[in-house]
Chains A and B, each alone.
Chain A
């Protein structure tokens, strides 16, 4: 059996370039190929120690896939490869206009939720998708082209707020449904 080296980073694991822009189809393809290759059931004839290794492999491949397939996690991981912390736990000083917009988003979602206004929530959701795409394009520029990882860290923090807005919108839809 041939399993990739434990020293490889997640991108190397999937044979992908270490960039923010990612060929999702290729990631899926390589993920399934690796899973196939190291699935613990395949090693039922091997010793317990060897099976344990293959389980660890399976877990590592899953973790790598979960990391690379999510935009915020992928960006955070890329920054960590370059020794930059995205400071999501500690940095509370976001740009004032960004925070003001966040307040307005949250107010708009809250109002639509209370008014049970599905059309408004749909509008907010498509606006959010638009903003998310813009933010991801910025991240790709900062990480892949400018290689400005400190600036990219700020964009990762913004992305976390936008993900939260998406959750808030989803939960507002749920609240109206029930």
Chain B
């Protein structure tokens, strides 16, 4: 299997490897896995008070394409709002890294990891943010 230069670059110099404090209210953690190949990916985001993602970290056990996909999305999400981060599509990741068809599932894994991380972040805040808004709206 020949990897593209971009995959090799991320594989050899992965960006943002590491962990954030899972219990921190500002941190959202996404854990996903690909049964087909047994790859596992943990992706975390740290969201500022303005709703902007200020940091992202990942840890991936998988092939070069899975590592490159997660490394790339940690770069992409920084500076985005959580809702903008949800817009990232696996096809964009696959295109940027020139992934061959058999490695598309690696980019799907990275997209799902971001979604899971945002979901985790939102679920930590959902009760606080959404309930009061609903109470006001639902009164009338």
In A90-122, which residues have CB < 8 Å from any B CB? 90-94, 96, 98-100, 102-103, 106, 110
Name the A residues within 8 Å of B35 (CB-CB): 86-89, 91, 94, 156-158, 160-161
Q: Are B32 and A92 in contact (CB under 8 A)?
A: yes
Q: A89-B105, A92-B112 are known contacts. Are A99 and B31 too (CB-CB below 8 A)?
A: yes
Chain A residues with CB below 8 A from B38, complex form: 102, 160-161, 163-165, 167
B27 to chain A, nearest CB (A): 15
Instruction: Write the chain A residue with the least CB distance to B32.
Output: A92
8 Å CB contact of B31 from A96, A158, A161: A96
Residues facing A in B23-46 (CB within 8 A) are 31-38, 40, 42
Could you say which of A89, A106, A158 contacts B40, with CB atoms under 8 Å apart? A106
With both chains docked as a complex, state the minimum distance between the C-beta of B129 and any C-beta of chain A, in angstroms: 22
Docked CA distance A158–B108 (Å): 19
Instruction: Tally inter-chain residue pairs, CB-CB below 8 A.
Output: 58
Task: Tell me, in angstroms, the Cα distance from A98 to B42 when the chains sit together.
Answer: 12
Known A106-B40, A161-B38, A164-B37; contact A93-B61, beta-carbon cutoff 8 A:
no
Nearest CB in chain B to that of A154: its residue: B35
Contact (A92, B59) CB under 8 Å given A103-B40, A160-B35, A160-B38? no
What class of interface size applies to chain A in its complex with B?
20 to 34
Kindly state the separation between the CA atoms of A39 and B121 in the bound complex, as whole angstroms.
Answer: 61
B32 lies within 8 A of A88 (CB): no
Q: Would you give the shortest CB distance from A107 to chain B, in whole angstroms?
A: 8
**B77 touches A (CB below 8 Å):** no
Digitize B85-119: 1 where CB-to-A-CB distance is under 8 Å, 0 elsewhere: 00000000000000000000100110011001000
CA distance A93 to B35 in the complex (A): 10
If A100-B31, A103-B42 touch, whether A92 touches B109 (CB-CB below 8 Å) is yes
Task: Look across to chain A and name the residue whose beta carbon is closest to the beta carbon of B39.
Answer: A164
Q: Mark A150-172, 1 if CB is under 8 A from B, else 0.
A: 00000011101101110100000
Q: Which residues of B contact A96 (CB under 8 A)?
A: 31
Check if A102 sits within 8 Å of B40, measured CB to CB.
yes
Chain A residues within an 8 Å CB radius of B31: 94, 96, 99-100, 103
Minimum Cβ distance to chain B for residue A128 (Å): 13
Q: Which residues in chain A, 61-104, are within 8 Å of chain B measured between CB atoms?
A: 86-94, 96, 98-100, 102-103
B105 proximity list for chain A (CB < 8 A) = 89
Give the complex CA separation of A113 and B42 in angstroms.
Answer: 22
Partner-A contacts on B (CB < 8 A) = 31-38, 40, 42, 59, 61, 105, 108-109, 112-113, 116
